[in-house]
Amino acid sequence: MQPQLQQAAYWFVYIFLELSILLLVISFAVSIVTYFITPAKVRRWMDKYSQGLTGNIIGTALGGLLPFCSCSTIPALIGLLNVGVPFRVAMSFLIASPLGVLNLVVISLFSTMFGTKIAIMYIVATFIAAVLAGIVLDKLGLASEVKDVEVRGIEEETLAPTTNTANHWERWKPILIHARDSAWTLYKQMIPFLLVGVGVGAWIYGFVPTQFFVKYAGPQNPFAVPIAAAIGIPMYVRTETMVPICSALVKKGVGLGTVMALIIGGAGASIPELSLLAAIFKRKLFIAYIVTIFVIASIIGYSFNFLFAI
């Protein structure tokens, strides 16, 4: 077997299994959480704490803190929408989560590879971008562009009756069974999209050489930043993996802003993530999300190149 084909095949199997496990585990957990956090409770809480800018800040902070990769964010997003979290807040969560805005691992990697100053700038820039993006997408009237895909919580009437003498297992058993069934149902809906996304990602991973990025994202190219953002979008590489790669690219002469665009594009809108979003977003919102990530990556990339120009 050719090395490239072997590498792509290994990547496909590894990533498909990893994402499958993540989807099932997170969907299971979300189903349990949505039993205890009912839509009525969430609406009351959000009425108090998620109005205006505060809500988007909360959504961004929550998404940025959770150690999710881009694809494992999707079940959590569905759960948030199902329990009544405002669309704009959910979108800020969706954008912030894969970028690792407040993720300690990502922050540590940025500090180690690029320095503390650049790490802080990345956090501030992506945090502000996620907050504003959620607001803009909502103002564009895209809240109605979400399909009816659910990670369902358990209604009280679906639970098996228990008594005051029921033990711990008897009280939890119906909840766990429903969570298991809900997670499996969602996973089956996502499998076709997952296979397509991981397959394309495996081809890119195995057959597109690193030299390709250096050639088309060099500092002499005035279009290097948007090209890097566009190249990053089809990739599926976690931010934790992309940061060391981009550190090496910087040492080879690629502009700092260019690699930032590559990181944000790759983390925020990888093909596997977009494949899953296609299952829950209608066309307008799907396109708007891709454009949003591209614009964020480009603006931050150009800003970094400008601020760190020699």
251-286 as b/e: b if 16+ CB within 10 A? eeebbbbbbbbbbbbbbbbbbbbbbbbbbbbeeebb
* Res 209: pLDDT: 66
Burial of 22 by CB count in 10 Å (0-12 exposed, 13-18 middle, 19+ buried)? middle
The token pair at 22 is 């993540």
Residue written as tokens 């964010």?
A: 73
**Rounded average pLDDT over 52-77:** 75
Q: Which tens digit of pLDDT belongs to each residue from 215-249?
A: 666 656 778 889 888 887 776 555 656 666 677 66
Q: Which tens digit of pLDDT belongs to each residue from 167-221?
A: 777 788 888 888 888 888 878 877 877 787 677 767 766 776 666 656 666 656 7
The band of 139, judged by pLDDT with boundaries at 50, 70 and 90, is very high
* Res 70: pLDDT: 55
The band of 300, judged by pLDDT with boundaries at 50, 70 and 90, is very high
* Res 38: pLDDT: 57
**SS3 state at 152:** coil
Cβ–Cβ < 8 Å for 123, 107: yes
Least confident window among 100-104, 128-132, 280-284? 100-104
| Residue 39: Cβ within 10 Å count | 13
* Res 250: pLDDT: 75
